[in-house]
Chain A
Amino acid sequence: MKNELPKWADYILLPVINLTVAFIVAGMVVLMVGENPLEAAYILVRGAFGYGGGIAYTMYYATNFIFTGLSVAVAFHCGLFNIGSEGQAIIGALGVALAALTLDHLMPWWVIFPLAIVGSALFGAAWALIPAWLQAKRGSHIVITTIMFNFIASSVMVYALVEVLKPAGSMAPQTRTFEQAGQIPKLDWLFEVFGSGLQGAPLNLSFFLALIMAFLVWVLIWRTRFGYELRTTGTNPTAAVYAGIPPVRTIVITMLISGGLAGMMALNPVMGDQARIELDFTAGAGFVGIAVALMGRSHPLGIIFAAILFGMLYQGGAELSFDMPNISRDMIIAIQGLVILFAGALEHMFRPSLIRLFSRFGRSSDASLAEAA
């Protein structure tokens, strides 16, 4: 009996089955609160893709999730579970604010934007440095340290906003609004081409930055020497050491990249939308990144699709809560949890039965399967 699935089943069929089960369970939750799941799904998809502004909003949310999804995925490839993307994104915002607040009177946006990118990545990476170093040097479990660093990050942010960055005389814990030069241009022109404006959606240039980063992550992981070392360390740390790959360096650099990607997520809401740091601007995007990375199987292309799916859930979910008052945005959190459960924790649940199925029916068509793979 063959104990393996054909590649296409492993990479496409199994995730699709897992995802379908997650959505069936989500549908049951919708039934439990007394609404029609099919109708809910229809409203959700229409809200996310039915009109120009909806699509733009979906892409805006997807931008956040591409960054955090990539962040989690890079660490995954090295066998590290970075739950700290949320905290790294929060601290990344300080890097964005540093660039925008000091320079928005002096420079045009195309000078500030690159500086803000560097700033956000550096701050995010710095926040990942201590957990990384502790994992590599002292063996402190990175899951625990990054969870702790998430909480410390939100405390730091509260402190920074209330004590340092809040303009004098203001009560709200937020920075002053950035000048025009401290904001990332919106993508109106892209939507004008299709004859629809953004209709108020905050989709901006950082969407393209996210796509570029996805490509660069693919290059890094599968086309560079360091990417090879990273994957080797992730697959078999002992073998990696035998092969002369320095584990401490690999872990620390991987986490710096992961933290940097998470930090860059802050660009989108802070500089692209609100033009200031508000408390809770991340809105849990760091945690969505875990679901996105799991669903996208840690491949940049998969992550982009998964991020768009979650962007759809966030945007469509907002519309859904208007039409069906029993379904609040908490539905999205539940769906997110179900996706993490079925695509992550229970990812192997259907594997044995699928293998059995394939070995029973697949023997006669082995040749055609091999071709398909």
Chain B
Amino acid sequence: MLGKLGLSAIPWSQPIPLITSLAVMLILLGVLVLITVKGWWPYLWREWITSVDHKRIGVMYCLLGVVMLIRGFADAIMMRSQQALAIGGPGYLPPEHYDQVFSAHGTIMILFGAMPLVLGLMNFVVPLQLGVRDVAFPTFNSVGFWLTASAALLVNVSLFVGEFARTGWLPYPPLSETAYSPGVGVDYYLWAVQISGIGTLITGINIVTTVLKMRCHGMSYLRMPVFCWTALASCLLIVATFPILTATLAMLTLDRYVGWHYFTNTAGGNPMMFVNLVWAWGHPEVYILVLPAFGVFSEIFPTFSGKPLFGYRSMVVATLFICIVSMTVWLHHFFTMGAGAAVNTFFGISSSIIAVGTGVKIYNWIFTMYGGRVRFEVPMLWSMGFIFTFIIGGLTGVLLAVPPADFLTHNSMFLVAHFHNVIIGAVVFAIFAALEYWFPKAFGFRLDGRWGTAAFWFAFVGFWVTFAPLYILGLAGMTRRLQHINFPEWAPWLYVSAAGVVILILGVISQVLELVLSIRRRDQLRDTTGDPWDGRSLEWSTPSPPPFFNFAVMPNVEGEEAYWGIKLRAIETQQLSPEPNYQPIEMPLDSPVGFYTAFFSFVFGFAMIWYIWWLAIVALVAAFAGFVVFAWRDEHEFEVSVDEVARADRARREAREAILARLARQEAAP
């Protein structure tokens, strides 16, 4: 009846996961009680859970990502403290638990922390920058988000019910085969990643279609903001490579569930095929994360330098160059696994060449700042910190791309330091820059920059104190994923690294404080203009927060930097463009189908993990039924009346006129 599930699945003898999950459940229960007592359920259901508004879905994606970043950071704290405490001793985490911690850390940070944040930013920003009212498939979008959220829930459930994989974030066979991982850990990994992978693919298809098919008047490809270009390139990679991941994990699932032999050591299987295929997805995945990060910086540098982006076209070419070349480098993750000189040379050279595209971008950003009037707001701090950090990370990457050098550093702490250097230095810095930058657009008030500045400096210094020692340890020969350390010589560097984590914790606290204090002071921080940073692209032409239909009338773009041109003209002529002839707008109806499908996908995943076959069948049928009912619905749009459109737009015009008047007064005063 309940398959493998029983009371023994709960880790009674392990206090750390037990107490953590009890605490999390208590907090969750508290939140649910609070929502019920305050009567917020109808609001949440109507405005958020069933919403198909790309802005709401983007915000929910980011919220999910931030929560999971904190979860992944908790794992990181445990890893660094374990290695500092386990020098010549056992430490406090037994090996089987430590293995789960580093596996969960990698899986969560990449697939459930960084990915939702990046997808959320693309969801929120791309339609606004393109001057359209929603993504191409709004309800599909909601399905994608909720699938990712239910997969994240599945990963967290593994903390309390059963265990997580002990195989690393990519479950290499034969270790991940049933013979060596008989527990449910790998199954949790497989089903969670499969479900979230489908969600990601859905969002990828959505953004590609939106960018290719739905731009406003005059928004030709070469007038799109660079963030839209990078979102397009990143989603092309999602569409091209996530099916590889799905297929590869499906093969491993068949090995585990029905005893087939794709990747086993025996009966003609070949574990190396898994390594090959998973990195054919895994390397483009890195660029799926980092390309939108480059896009964020390409928005922030021009805005806070008061200059157009230097070399717009070279930026576009570099983006597409990286998009293509990123699919020809995957072997550099396993240079040491037997390939001959020809193969290693090809992939080594292509890995080095990709740095050319990135180098072009770095110079463009630097030249954007050159001669500009740079404002050191928080997003700009993150961006400048990125340039410094990312250059070092890129240089160590080029070093690792040289096969002979890689033979010395493969799977060492040097590698660990390198990929944290690029992922934190580029992706995480970009995410925090972007959250600070677009927060007023999403919520209508700015974040208080003082704690944000503190958060940046703690993160920047903390990052280097944590990871610089790992470079040194790697060169000294320390391999990754060590549960205990037998060389007392390494102790000083491990202590320094652990101290760095303390600085990073201060950074996280500052970031949370910034958010909490800004929410409390939101009335003083209110953004009444809709354009708090003196922005250059179309999202800043809407009020903050934008109405659910984004634009009362579709913008007409007449050049690069769409909004900058409109703004300059308004300032020159001292008036806005004449009031347009408002028309009613058709908008998609909200739908619970995303939430419904994802709920049953969660049940399906859970049932498959625990071999509860009847429940899996029921859940699968129920999820499919939701899709059938949705496909046969009669009404899928509603009309927004002319009055409502006009009211929203007149309020916006009033705010803009106030800015014009203020600028005129400033001009008049000497």
Q: Do A and B come from one complex?
A: no
